[in-house]
Amino acid sequence: MVKIWEKELRSEKKLPVIIPIVVYHGQKRWEVAGRLSGLIERYAELQEALWKYIPDYAYELHDLTSEEEGERIESGEVKLTVYLFRAVVAPDKGTLLRRYKEAMQALKEVSGRRDIEDLIEQGFGISLARNQRSS
């Protein structure tokens, strides 16, 4: 956000509104505080009079490890991307294959894109090979 604001300040006198969004696709669920203050070391121990000098805001979280998150997405391209992100961190072969089927279903919404189909096949092939080596 600061980089965007620095750039804007060179040409404008006012800062644009920025809504912070976190898109997370790790192996475990996102368990970090939902506000910036929850990430700042010893924030709660500071004197309340100092809080007004420290930025604090909430952010919009999209935790792609959550099964429900993919169900709410309507765009075929975005849904496909979510399923691919999930596949990268699949904990086992069964989960990987289920996510492959989900991606293929989402691919039907983006039909006619052979380049995307090839990319998916290659990506899942690599993930499957890696998954088999680790089992």
> What's this model's pTM, rounded to 2 decimal places?
0.53
Q: Which two structure tokens, joined as six digits, stand for 25?
A: 């696709």
Q: What stretch of H or E contains 90?
A: none
CB contact at 8 A, 81 and 122: no
| Rounded-to-integer distance, Cα 23 and Cα 25, Å | 7
Residue 100: CB atoms within 10 A of its CB come to 21
What does the pLDDT look like over 99-113, one tens digit per residue? 888 877 777 776 666
Mean pLDDT within 36-54:
90
d(CA 89, CA 28) in angstroms, rounded, equals 9
